[in-house]
A = this chain, B = another copy of it.
Amino acid sequence: MLREITGFSNPLVKRVKALRDKKARRLEGLFLAEGLRILTEALDAGRTPQMLWFSPESAHHKLVQALIQATEAAGGEVFVTSPDILSKLSGKDNPGAVLGVYEEQWTPLDALDRSAAQIWIVAERLRDPGNLGTILRTGDAVGAGGLILIDDCTDPFSVEAVRASMGALFTQSISKASWPDFLTWLRQGPGQLVGTSLNTEHDYQAPRYTPPVFLLVGNESQGLPESYERDCDLLVKMPMMGKADSLNAAVATSVMAYEVLNQLRAR
């Protein structure tokens, strides 16, 4: 069913716009994704929005048509609206052609099949949504199974994280757990827990990684708590040739993940 929305004061406009705030997302269990590329990635991953918004200018684009059809077929609602209202919804002056409202999907740890992938990424108190989204994007690229969020991480369903993930939010599973719960689950099966840390001299290229490898990255400014580091099977560090002692968290995770992937594909 296609509806036209013309008024800024329409309650639906307010409701969708509110999803830019975490409180509203948690309350509704819904989040926003923007742009043809990301929504098409979602569709390729079998995910359709509950609501699809687009402006008349983009209605005839083939990919928009595909999104409209898939959304309607899945029982979602389709709204055509003005570029101005799309801007208001997305908070951007220059919004993408489309905007989708999706159900948040959290995968409980017990539902994760650790044998489904050789690499898993675990992030602890990650604060920056751009870093979180970028890590999801790298996770997709290295064939990781998913991202497990430990303690109080930034929301993976924020607009910034979704944007930085470039659609990987729809292909990577997302779980959250306390550290003890994660550790209990991890130790019930195979899994090498590898932390990146400044508190080691162990070069990240020295070990032979054994899948499934769980790559653990800590908070951007504080790194991992010492007690979490002690729980790791391995602590490794990247060589640092300059003045700085650390890399950006998403970069460190990605350099590590490619090292593991390179080892695995060389075997």
Contacts and interface: CB of A to CB of B under 8 A. Distances in A.
Given A205-B262, A255-B254, A143 B244 contact: no
A141 B171 contact: no
Interface string A213-248: 000000000000000000000000011111110111
A248 B247 contact: no
A36 to B, nearest CB: 12
A250 B255 CA distance: 11
B244 A41 contact: yes
B247 A138 contact: yes
Given A251-B250, A251-B251, A254-B255, A141 B244 contact: yes
Contacts of A140: 241-244
Contacts of A164: 248
Interface residues of A, number: 36
Report the copy number of this chain in the oligomer: 2
Nearest to A255: B258
A209 to B, nearest CB: 15
Given A238-B258, A255-B254, A248 B138 contact: yes
B265 A254 contact: no
Given A247-B137, A251-B250, A242 B130 contact: no
A258 B247 CA distance: 12
Given A134-B251, A238-B141, A41 B265 contact: no
A70 interface: no
A142 interface: yes
A244 B167 contact: yes
B137 A244 contact: yes
A243 B130 contact: no
A190 to B, nearest CB: 20
Contact of A168 (B143, B242, B255, B258): B242
B143 A243 contact: no
A198 B137 CA distance: 16
Contact of A241 (B142, B241, B242): B142
Contacts of A254: 247-248, 251, 254-255
5 contacts: A41-B243, A41-B244, A134-B251, A137-B251, A238-B258
Given A140-B243, A248-B250, 5 more contacts: A41-B244, A134-B251, A138-B248, A140-B241, A171-B244
The 3 lowest CB-CB distance pairs between A and B, nearest first, are: A143-B241, A140-B242, A251-B254
